[in-house]
Amino acid sequence: MNAGPTDHLAGQTFNCPEDGSLKKIQVYSSAVSHPGKIILTVHEFDKQRKNWGNILSSSEIKVDENDTENWMQFPLQSIQLQKDNTYGFRLQSPDTLIAIGEAAWPSKYPFEYGEEWSINNLENKDHYYKYFSLAFRVELRA
């Protein structure tokens, strides 16, 4: 059985360091298989229950092989984020596969500001990784 782009989703949760307006999220792309679109959705996230809330904002961009080893820019309709709340973003594509840059943390000290997340529709089970983080930037304005 071949897995297609719609069978895999990835994302990242993060604790908001300050009150502010979210304008953009950037995600580092290690590879792009072929031209297509990537959809990013932003959610509130309940870290105790591991529950994704409703979509707060979303962005769709077109990517191709030239986006390999570059920061993908996802401009967002401005939303207010609150200090110390947990949010997350999910990435999915109906028509391409991408590899996303990530960082690994030492086993003694997990990433404290959020968790990397993934799911595949073949298994339909959420996976959270506190020792890994996607390579991402959040543009938050006070």
Query: Residues 70-123: pLDDT tens digits?
Result: 999 999 999 999 999 999 999 999 999 899 988 877 766 666 677 767 776 656
State pTM to two decimals: 0.86
**CATH code of the region 5-141:** 2.60.120
Taking CA 51 as the corner, what is the angle to CA 49 and CA 56, rounded to the nearest 5 degrees?
140
Domain boundaries in the chain? 5-141
Q: Which of 84, 130, 142 is nearest to 103 (CA)?
A: 130
Per DSSP, helices labelled H in the chain are none
60 burial class (0-12, 13-18, 19+ CB within 10 angstroms)?
exposed
pLDDT, residue 56, reads: 97
Q: How confident is the model at residue 1 (pLDDT cuts 50, 70, 90)?
A: very low
CA distances for 110 relative to 38, 52, 74, 76, angstroms: 28, 21, 27, 29
**Chain-wide mean pLDDT for the chain?**
86
Phi, psi values for residue 121, rounded to 5°: -70, -15
Reply yes or no on whether the pLDDT at 3 is more than 50: no
Reply yes or no on whether the pLDDT at 53 is more than 60: yes
In this predicted structure, which of 6-10, 57-61, 79-83 has the lowest mean pLDDT?
Answer: 6-10
Q: Give CB contacts under 8 A, 24+ apart, made by 52-59.
A: 52/88, 52/90, 56/87, 57/22, 59/25
Question: Cα(103)–Cα(89) distance, rounded to whole angstroms?
Answer: 17
